[in-house]
Amino acid sequence: MQMSMATTTYTQSLLQKMSSNDKDLRFQAVANLMNDLRQQSFKLDDDSEYHVVQGVLKLLEDTNSEVLNQVVQCIALLLYKVNGLSFNRISDALCSTFKNVSTDTEKLHDMKVTSLKTIFASFLQQQQAKQIFNPPNIIMHHLVTVIVESSRTKANRSNGRLHNAGHGEIEILDLIRDTLSTTPDVRYKFFLCHIPLSRILRKNLASPRADIRQRVPILI
């Protein structure tokens, strides 16, 4: 899709402010984007959307706390406006931080975790949590996949065991726990969507690892 001149100008101006050395300009750029995202008629073409998503994700590494707080809120809004490819890029960028091969710094990792918590909390506040097909639920599926893959490694020998789960998998379990504790009435539909996770949790009720045993009963 060819970009219109107005869209090109908007995107260039936005990206220029996002990459500015002035924290106030970066903050204002994200604030303006959030205001636009709240408008039902707001829509970017595919090329502009790609660059805007890249710019927002890059700001997760910003050094200013006020800018970071804005970015976290902005990502939650972006999910409802972008196309499938951009959605997957955002989801992959956030969820990849839990994998053992992640190269994220500790600060970037923390910001991605905060972004995920904000996404889930924002969605629950919209009182749409009982809908099965929704952006946060798709992201949760990606997180559950990390746990499922961990339970299938050769080192575990027995499929479904989390004996060798790393820090990332533990964090995901805590994230799921926090999400379900906020809105317990969605628990049934959550596990209806994520049956593999339910099976894995039940197999780990008597795990030799204390940190797993402590979390599993709360989740089931």
Residues 70 and 136 in one domain: no
For residue 52, give the amino acid letter: V
Closest CA to 52 of 22, 83, 12: 12
Cβ–Cβ < 8 Å for 68, 111: yes
Determine the structural domain holding residue 67 and report its residue range. Answer: 1-82
Indicate whether 121 and 220 sit together in one domain.
Answer: yes
pLDDT surpasses 90 at 36: yes
Could you tell me the CATH number of the domain that includes residue 53? 1.25.10
Confidence check: pLDDT of 75 > 90: yes
The tens digit of pLDDT for each residue in 52-67 reads: 999 999 999 999 999 9
Judgement on whether residues 75 and 172 belong to the same structural domain of the protein:
no
Residue 109 placed within a domain: no
Let me know whether 209 and 143 are in one domain.
yes
Distance, in Å, from the CA atom of 137 to the CA atom of 67, rounded to the nearest integer, reads 27
* Residue 88 placed within a domain: no
Q: Does residue 90 lie within any of the structural domains?
A: no
Q: How many CB atoms lie within 10 A of CB 178?
A: 12
Residue 133 belongs to some domain of the structure: yes
In this structure, are 213 and 138 located in the same domain?
A: yes
**Of 134 and 204, the one with more pLDDT:** 204
Same domain, 53 and 149: no
Q: Note the pLDDT tens digit of each residue in 76-86.
A: 889 888 888 89
Distances (CA, A) of 104 to 55, 100, 108, 109, 112: 17, 10, 6, 6, 10
The last residue of one of the domains, among 82, 101, 134, is 82
Instruction: Work out the mean pLDDT of the chain and round it to a whole number.
Output: 84
Q: What is the pLDDT of residues 159-197, one digit of tens each?
A: 778 888 888 889 999 988 887 777 666 676 677 677 888
Domains: count for the chain: 2
Higher pLDDT, 137 or 126: 137
The answer to whether residues 129 and 210 belong to one domain is yes
CB 73 within 8 A of CB 35: no
Q: Is there a domain that residue 91 lies in?
A: no
111 located within any domain: no
Q: State the Cα–Cα distance between residues 150 and 161, nearest whole angstrom.
A: 8
**Do residues 78 and 112 touch, judged by C-beta distance below 8 A?**
no
User: Residue 8: which pLDDT band, with cuts at 50, 70 and 90?
Assistant: confident
Asked if pLDDT for residue 154 goes beyond 80, the answer is no
| Structural domain contains residue 96 | no
Q: Examine the fold and report which residue of 82, 101, 124 is the final residue of a domain before the chain moves on.
A: 82
**H runs (alpha helix) in 83-209:** 84-95, 106-125, 135-150, 167-182, 187-193, 195-203
- Please indicate, yes or no, if residue 102 is contained in any of the structural domains: no
Q: Is 134 helix (H, G, I), strand (E, B) or coil?
A: coil
By the 8 A CB rule, do 143 and 176 touch?
yes
> Per-residue pLDDT for 153 more than 70?
no
Residues 72 and 120 in one domain: no
Question: Is 220 found in the same domain as 120?
Answer: yes
Alpha carbon 11 to its chain centroid, in Å, reads 24
What was the pLDDT predicted at 155?
A: 54
